[in-house]
Amino acid sequence: MNQVDYLRISLIDRCNFRCQYCTPEGMELDYILKRNLLTDEEILTLIKDVFIPVGFTRFRLTGGEPLLRPRVVELVQQIASLREMQDLSMTTNGFLLAPIAQELYNAGLRRINISLDSLEENTFNQIIGNRGRSKWQLVWDGIQAAYQVGFNPLKLNVVVIPGVNDHEVLDLAALTIDKQWHIRFIEFMPVGNSDLFGDKGWIASSELRQQIRARWGLIESQVRGSGPADVFQIPGAKGTLGFISQMSECFCDKCNRVRLSADGWLRPCLLNETGQIDLKTALRNGVSITKLQEQLQELLTVKSEINFKQRYSGTATGNYSRTMSQIGG
Ligand code: SAM
Ligand code: SF4
């Protein structure tokens, strides 16, 4: 079995965007009440006393939109300064990033992924469900700020939606030529959003690679991430192109991660709630740290009951009602 040593921690389930592949407008969500959010202290205790001793080495802060969490910089600073912390990163939509990029860096964060699904304002607004003032520029400012401050690697996540932003694949890929940015094209997944998915499906990474290869050529990159992306490079480019192909090349058998929701549910798999543990209630009820470590070890043995192939073909029977923003994508 694959070693599971990577925890994605949702800091908050709320978000200032309504991305159509994640929490489309009109979708009713039951937000977590403030009293049910894991506190900063609980997050620190879980990382330091439960996950690290069990062998976890990598932690990513996500959401919802993690930058909406009150006092997020202080929390990042506390997590980053844990003596045992080896690798801390964050995934954000970038909207609130520009003014605090330097503070986050000073707090000890070094790796950041920013979602950027389009370079066109209209398409971007369509994807994030924005009818008011455009948010694209602020996200772009956030990316530039992160770059200036020195986040390295700086990764940009692109979910490719057929008929919506797939015409921009080459423009997005071109960003890696002059800058040491890493674009990661993610196949759109049916998580809590089956209606949209049913209409449009996903585009296989191999098709995107074909387009890019035809334009500039494409070589396998020497820079390998530790995640599920297959990494390539346009010859001579400063940055890289990663392809996360969970639909066309299901990598569930290599999965190395579990997810902690903002209200403390530890979930073994994006697709399946079976075996999940309520760590918040356990902590608040005084369950011992040793017992929590045992429960975590047990959860790691029940991973991967179903996979994306089964999910897409309709042969899986897991619970998929929670969106990425609720699970901690
Ligand atoms: N709000 C932050 C953001 O958007 O970067 C962090 C949370 S978001 C759930 C984390 C990542 O999940 C983003 O890169 C987003 O594009 C991706 N994501 C969300 N729903 C998805 C889906 N249905 N299929 C593939 N990726 C998805
Ligand atoms: Fe979009 Fe991230 Fe918010 Fe989901 S959590 S709606 S992917 S910005």
User: HSE (CB half, 13 Å, CA atoms) of 90?
Assistant: 29
Ligand nearest to the CA of 69: 1
The model's pLDDT over 211-233, given as tens digits with 9 standing for 90+, comes to 999 999 999 998 766 677 899 99
Domains in the chain, ordered, with CATH?
Answer: 6-326 (3.20.20.70)
Residue 166 has pLDDT above 80, yes or no: yes
The answer to whether the CB of 164 is under 6 A from ligand 2 is: no
The model's pLDDT over 23-49, given as tens digits with 9 standing for 90+, comes to 888 888 889 999 999 999 999 999 999
The model's pLDDT over 257-300, given as tens digits with 9 standing for 90+, comes to 899 999 999 988 877 777 789 999 999 999 999 999 999 999 88
Dihedrals φ, ψ of 29, to 5°? Answer: -125, 140
Q: Assign 175 a pLDDT band (cuts: 50, 70, 90).
A: very high
DSSP labels for 14-59? --S---TTTS-TT----PPPGGGSPPHHHHHHIIIIIIHHHT--EE
Distance CA 21, CA 161 (A): 8
pLDDT at residue 173, as a whole number: 98
- CA 159 to ligand 1 center in whole angstroms: 8
Contacts of the segment 200-204: beta carbons below 8 A, 24+ positions apart: 200/161, 200/162, 200/163, 200/164, 201/162, 202/160, 202/162, 202/247, 202/248, 203/160, 203/162, 203/166, 204/245, 204/247, 204/248
pLDDT at residue 170, as a whole number: 98
Q: Which atom of ligand 2 is nearest to the CA of 329?
A: 5
The answer to whether the CB of 17 is under 6 A from ligand 2 is: yes
Q: Which atom of ligand 1 is nearest to the CA of 62?
A: 6
Q: Where are the beta strands (DSSP E) in 48-117?
A: 58-62, 87-92, 111-115
pLDDT at residue 327, as a whole number: 63
- CA 21 to ligand 1 center in whole angstroms: 8
Q: Assign 140 a pLDDT band (cuts: 50, 70, 90).
A: very high
The model's pLDDT over 45-97, given as tens digits with 9 standing for 90+, comes to 999 999 999 999 999 999 999 999 999 999 999 999 999 899 999 999 999 99
Ligand nearest to the CA of 67: 1
C-alpha distance across the termini of the chain, in Å: 23
Q: Which of 143-157, 184-198, 229-243, 292-306 has the lowest mean pLDDT?
A: 184-198
pLDDT at residue 199, as a whole number: 59
Q: Assign 256 a pLDDT band (cuts: 50, 70, 90).
A: confident
